[in-house]
Amino acid sequence: MKHYDAIIIGFGKAGKTLANTLAQQGKQVAMIEKSSEMYGGTCINIACIPTKSLVYQSNERKYSEAPKKDFYRNAIESKNDLTSLLRNKNYQMLADQDTVIIYTAEASFLDDHTVQLISETETLELTAENFFINTGSLPVIPPIDGIKESKHVYTSTTLQQLDVLPEKLAIIGGGYIGLEFASIYANFGSEVTILDNGSTFLPREDRDIAEEVKKVLEAKKITITLDSGATSIIDQDGAVTVQYEKEKNKEEITASALLIATGRKPNTEGLGLENTSVEIDDKGAIIVDDQLKTTATHIWALGDVKGGPQFTYISLDDFRIVRDQFVGEGNYTLKDRQNIPDSVFIDPVLSHVGLSEDAAKKKGISYKVATMRAGEIPRSQIIKQTDGMLKALIDPDSKEILGCTLFCAESSEMINIVRLAMEAKLPYTFLRDQIFTHPSMSEGLNDLFSKFE
């Protein structure tokens, strides 16, 4: 039985960055990853990087004369080459460290201080001073009749492995993952239909933003069907038929492929947490305090597995919280994390930070609001991406920015500028009067915040 200073379960963003940091401090570290296809974590293998590669390439198809099936197959190959390159780079980052040992095995706790590793060739037991769980999340698979038997059902992971472009793609789930894939595959040339069992499209967004997004997606010939709960899935004639209920009527749709995009859940099953003093909540997320310590004080949980926002940059910030406890002063905690930005890479990109107008109303917060069309920004005309709108809220007394939603080209970059101003508690006039390069999408912030005058 080998003993380590730290055992990290999961090769995700927080885990691998922490392993590298601890190794540079001379700590003996064991990194455990159950699949060699997941070195580097979810982001570079099956999520952020490969999907954004497909976003970029699907947008490029507008300018290609290649047959759409050939273009798609080449895009998948390019995506695979990229993830393979990054996977190897991430593996070597840790393997080259003298004090890091990488185990490709499935880990489960035997007690608070011992994990058992089961690989294809052996079974081991390891102990450590400290443990860090960074096992990420898994797709939620709803209990729909026939879903497990169908050969045409995919998750966000497996759909990316399909190198034949579906002529017709059905998507169960109208959340951010579903919309992103809908936009990608519509741009590649698939006929896309979204079945959303909710009655409100994008319920977390203001209605003016949601309606603008819906209009843009429908212009891509994406069909969005609300109040549609799938009841059964049947394979027939080389395709898949989804039966669903809409307004108490039974309807059906047939597609080449069906994507299940009904959310993700913390990946805690099989970790043997029942053998430890680590507690989980009713959604399977590991319960942590503001320093990410679990109910076992020598065990931490980082990233998606602890619940909360499922973003790679949140996992990286989790690393910062833990790092501060080992090589800092231990002052940085979850309480310091404010104004988390997010971007949904539909076409154009939908980005947000801070309060929405609906949230401000519900909280009784006084505000002023300004909006503008994306097409008012000169660069949007140059790059022929004029769809969308921009929206901002400010405090009428302090003049600070309360929130901002940007549905426009390059908004994933612009939103970071807004967040910096919010974190610095600068008045909106800082962005109104900021000198931006021209022509750039960022200078649209000059115009947006000028509308408060």
Strand pairing class (257-260; 264-266)? unpaired
Dist. CA 127–CA 2, nearest whole Å: 6
Q: Which helix (H) or strand (E) holds 13?
A: helix 13-24
Q: Decide: 30 and 107 in contact? Cβ < 8 Å.
A: no
Dist. CA 35–CA 103, nearest whole Å: 10
- Residues 6 or more apart whose CB falls under 8 angstroms from that of 328 comprise none
Q: Decide: 15 and 8 in contact? Cβ < 8 Å.
A: yes
List beta partners, residue 103.
32
Residue 349: φ, ψ to 5°? -75, 140
- At residue 12's C-alpha, the angle toward residues 10 and 15, to 5°, is 70
Query: Angle of helix 68-95 relative to helix 13-24, nearest 10 degrees?
Result: 30
Catalytic residue, chosen from 3, 298, 352, 438, is: 438
Q: How many helices (H) and strands (E) does the chain have?
A: 12, 22
Amino acid at 310: Q
Residue 104: φ, ψ to 5°? -100, 95
- At residue 103's C-alpha, the angle toward residues 101 and 109, to 5°, is 110
251: Cα separation from own chain's centroid? 31
Q: Residue 57 is encoded by which pair of tokens? A: 């390439």
Dist. CA 11–CA 258, nearest whole Å: 29
Strand pairing class (168-172; 257-260)? parallel
**Which of 180, 182, 184 shows the shortest CA–CA distance to 225?**
182
Dist. CA 417–CA 439, nearest whole Å: 17
Residue 113 annotated among the catalytic residues of the structure:
no
Dist. CA 350–CA 314, nearest whole Å: 18
List beta partners, residue 192.
169
Residue 276: φ, ψ to 5°? -120, 180
User: Where in the sequence numbering do the catalytic residues fall?
Assistant: 438
